[in-house]
Amino acid sequence: MTDKEKKVVLSLVQPSGELTIGNYLGAIRNFSKFQDEYNCFFAVADMHAITVDQVPADLRRRTKEVLALFIASGIDPEKCTLFIQSQVPEHAQLSWVLNSQAHMGQLSRMTQFKSKSKEHSGNINSALFTYPVLMAADILLYQTDLVPVGEDQNQHLELARDLAQRFNARYSETFTVPNAFIDKEMGKIYSLKDPDKKMSKSDPDSNSYILINDKSDVIRKKIKRAVTDDKNNFSYNDEQKGLKNLINIYSAFSQKSVEEIVKKYRGENYSNFKEDLGDLIVEKLSPIQEKYNEILNDKKYLTDIYTNGAIKAEKVAYKTLSKVYKKIGFLKREML
């Protein structure tokens, strides 16, 4: 099948924090399975990241780190289009047009806007408000069929669908209406210290997360200190959320089912399980860490990847944007 006949998968990841195993297990690792059957676009959403305060040098570094993790996790830049959002100007351009189609009311109902406004109450900028419109532009530029995202992004995806349908109805068929691919596995890794919160680097307690680049002894120590309970009952349920989260991590790294794991450790001490889990993470993460660091140290390789990626992406994005500009009544700029 040529790329043209394949369905399109697209997803972007924000470079907004240090990378944890939550980013890896909950998102990036799940993307490579699409690359043989779909025409895949994966990108770093640096434009989304600036909707909250960023230190420029950190943003640059993290953008490269997300790219490196994509590749280290098995995404093949030959098979997929791997790029940086801000390097394809059509994202900003389509986003502006879509802003003229999106309603304030609908954007005000976005739960992520509400929670982020609380979290960043000193900087409620208008890009934070129109963030989902930029996300719709990301998706619609590539005529995307399927968007693998965590549950928390579903409302944004609904907006992208609405905008596509509204534009198609008003100006004639232009955009593919995308579908969410909500993977139950995605976005499901919680803090090791408070299993009600998502695992995140922004947590002040560094024992609550495992970074992609954590050393083996640090990983083992953090797992050992992870919160469980005093029930002394190895089982998988919502009353024992800490243990449940650890079992999920075990399952994700080992590809074993939850049932298998519960059967294996039933009646045992949590500490035996934790020791095995620490070893498992170290074992599975170390080849990824190795590749990740190798890529980050090879500046030329990484630059080539994202430069070529932007060229490939722009070809597709430009085609969609040209149609949109024409339909809404912008004059074509002639070449002299």
Return residues touching ligand TRP (CB under 6 A).
10-12, 14, 45, 48, 135, 138-139, 147, 149, 153
Q: Would you say 110 or 223 has its CB closer to ligand TRP?
A: 110
Chain position whose Cβ is nearest to ligand TRP: 12
* Residue 7 among the catalytic residues: no
Nearest distance from residue 180's CB to ligand TRP, in Å? 9
Say if CB 245 and CB 194 are below 8 A apart.
Answer: no
Nearest distance from residue 64's CB to ligand TRP, in Å? 17
Q: Would you say 149 or 280 has its CB closer to ligand TRP?
A: 149
**Residue whose entry in the numeric block shows the structure tokens 């993290």:** 62
**3-class secondary structure, 256:** coil
Nearest distance from residue 10's CB to ligand TRP, in Å? 6
Q: Would you say 143 or 228 has its CB closer to ligand TRP?
A: 143
Q: Would you say 42 or 209 has its CB closer to ligand TRP?
A: 42
For residue 98, the tally of other CB atoms under 10 A from its CB is 25
- The sign of the torsion formed by the CA atoms of 192, 195, 200, 206 equals negative
Task: Tell me the angle at which helices 258-265 and 241-254 cross, rounded to the nearest 10 degrees.
Answer: 110
* Residue 116 among the catalytic residues: yes
Q: Which of 64, 193, 198, 312 is an active site residue?
A: 198
**3-class secondary structure, 50:** coil
Nearest distance from residue 52's CB to ligand TRP, in Å? 11
Query: Measured between alpha carbons, how far is residue 48 from residues 12, 27, 136, 313 in Å?
Result: 10, 17, 12, 18
Task: Tell me the angle at which helices 299-328 and 56-72 cross, rounded to the nearest 10 degrees.
Answer: 100
* Residue 319 among the catalytic residues: no
Q: Would you say 45 or 159 has its CB closer to ligand TRP?
A: 45
**179's tokens:** 């579908």
d(CA 316, CA 330): 19
Nearest distance from residue 160's CB to ligand TRP, in Å? 8
Q: Which of 6, 7, 79, 201 is an active site residue?
A: 201
Say if CB 82 and CB 69 are below 8 A apart.
Answer: no
**216's tokens:** 């083996």
**Active site positions, annotated:** 116, 198, 201
